[in-house]
Amino acid sequence: KAGVTQTPRYLIKTRGQQVTLSCSPISGHRSVSWYQQTPGQGLQFLFEYFSETQRNKGNFPGRFSGRQFSNSRSEMNVSTLELGDSALYLCASSQGTEAFFGQGTRLTVV
Amino acid sequence: LAKTTQPISMDSYEGQEVNITCSHNNIATNDYITWYQQFPSQGPRFIIQGYKTKVTNEVASLFIPADRKSSTLSLPRVSLSDTAVYYCLVGRFYNQGGKLIFGQGTELSVKP
């Protein structure tokens, strides 16, 4: 059974640009959530989607958005990138009490 | 969401058993206890999950006392490759709308 797949693995963007990250959950999982990990703040919850609906949202500015498609694949978008957005972005999929993470996308904003 | 407290760091040697204890005094009746392992620049890896008593799988054991206010992750005969950060989480993922609350985790260092 394939795990959670995130693409791309690495990304370098310039301040002010926007970026889209992709997450393919484990087959059959309908819940996809996103997290940001930085050395200073640790792992922080961004948002969660279930059956194409955002069910929960963390405390991040509106520049961070996401969506989920009918096949459960999810994307997150960050607009007007800032240097502080440099982080490891992780997605997790779940269909119950267990959540499984992808390898993450390392975003560097220069 | 129950808050967890675990040691910031631990040191061990290869071949030893390592026990990491997590305190979660405000655990709710429906909450599960889950442990993740994370290596640098990788996503957290699910290790084990339990509700009460003892759970064992191929990599670890999880001990949960009757009051469920704490839990202990036991790693038998650790190796250098077990050097990682270990997170204890409490909650019921599905019912929480996917919001996992990660604490600082325990940085385990295994020495030769």
B62: Cβ–Cβ under 8 A, 6 or more apart, which residues? B33, B35, B48, B49, B50, B54, B55, B56, B71, B72, B73, B74
| B27-64 pLDDT tens trace | 988 889 999 999 998 999 999 999 999 999 999 999 99
Least confident of A82-86, B30-34, B66-70, B97-101: B97-101
Residues of B in contact with A103 (CB under 8 A): 42-43
- What percentage of chain B exceeds 70 in pLDDT? 93
Distance CA A34, CA A104 (A): 10
User: What was the pLDDT predicted at B17?
Assistant: 97
User: What was the pLDDT predicted at A4?
Assistant: 97
**From the candidates A5, A44, A101, which should be mutated to test the interface with B, based on the most B CB atoms within 10 A?**
A101
Q: Which amino acid is at B47?
A: I
User: What was the pLDDT predicted at B14?
Assistant: 97
Separation in Å, CA of A36 to nearest CA in chain B: 11
User: What was the pLDDT predicted at B92?
Assistant: 75
Half-sphere exposure of B112 (CA within 13 A, CB side): 0
Separation in Å, CA of B47 to nearest CA in chain A: 10
Closest C-alpha among B89, B100, B83 to residue B9:
B83
Flag whether pLDDT at B90 surpasses 80: yes
| Residue A91: other Cβ atoms inside 10 A | 30
Distance CA B26, CA A92 (A): 25
Q: Which pLDDT tens digits describe chain A residue by residue (110 residues)?
A: 679 999 999 999 999 999 999 999 999 999 999 999 998 888 999 999 999 999 999 999 999 999 999 999 999 999 999 999 999 999 999 988 788 999 999 999 99
Query: What part of B 25-54 touches A (C-beta under 8 Å)?
Result: 32, 34, 36, 41-46, 49
